[in-house]
Amino acid sequence: MITKDKIDSFIEKIPPKPKVLKETLSLLNNGELTKAAKVAESDLALKAYLKNIVNKPIYGFKNEVSEISQIFGILGVSLSQQTVYNYIITLLSPAEWHLFKLNSKTFYELQANLSKKWELILKHLGIDDKDIYSAISLLPSSVIVAEALFCEKIEDVTLLRTTKSLDFNTILTRLCGIGLFDICEQIANKWEMGSLVPQILQASSGLKPSEDEKINLLGKWMHLLLFYELSQPVFIKAGLNDFVDFQIDYVEDIYEEFASVMGIE
């Protein structure tokens, strides 16, 4: 059904960061918001995406924000960089979804929700690191990976999941010895997203805790955030609630704190 060759082929097809985006991210990384905005202006698709994302209700802006210079100025360096990475992830998304009942609108909503809630978590933890902010952008890419690898064999996957109650990550791991988070790590490395990003991603699977206490803590928060977000009605309807196996024991020590930060009663 799914072979290592197919996974390798998928990885090979992932394009490098386009020149404009690479330059934009480099300038953001150096804290040069004005110069980054000027470069980003030349990418009309990026401009449309940024405008779409930051004007969603979850961002809470009363008036519509339309200029990239405004958007970067309001978001700041870390969130601007994170949002550009979110855009790069969308370049991998399919024109039409088959495995999951998603479209560009709901996928953008998933990205926006994860980004804003990750920001809440990092502020709560007192962390201000551009790479750590950007790490959250790779989680939605795992959904794209699952769609790409499983959509051609939907009936077989559905049967396997029904008879054995397996999540997508477990199915892929058992078939190929490599999981969705491993592939996301490869994407992060290909795009040179920083050494912390793949480490946090692996910890967020809940299956590969890090020996580094800080990274492991971030992995716990990210794992819990992913499960919480995919349990929302819109994403349950899309078929994402059984995307990964929730590791309750892994996050038990932070659950009450997480509930408080998210305002869960």
Q: Are 151 and 98 in contact (CB under 8 A)?
A: yes
Closest residue by Cα to residue 200 from 118, 91, 95, 96: 118
Q: Which domain holds residue 256?
A: 4-262
3-state secondary structure of 134: helix
Q: Are 131 and 228 in contact (CB under 8 A)?
A: no
pLDDT in tens, 49-103: 988 888 888 887 778 888 899 889 988 999 999 999 999 999 999 989 998 999 9
Q: Is 179 exposed, middle or buried (0-12, 13-18, 19+ CB in 10 A)?
A: buried
pLDDT in tens, 14-60: 888 889 999 999 999 999 999 999 999 999 999 999 888 888 888 87
Domain count, the chain: 1
pLDDT reading at 265 higher than 80: no
Say which DSSP state 126 is in: T
We report the CATH number of the domain holding residue 116 as 1.10.3210.10
pLDDT of the residue at 65: 83
- CA distance linking residue 230 with residue 236, whole number of Å: 7
Q: Are 50 and 71 in contact (CB under 8 A)?
A: yes
Band (pLDDT 50/70/90 cuts) for residue 159 is: confident
pLDDT of the residue at 114: 95
pLDDT of the residue at 30: 92
pLDDT of the residue at 122: 96
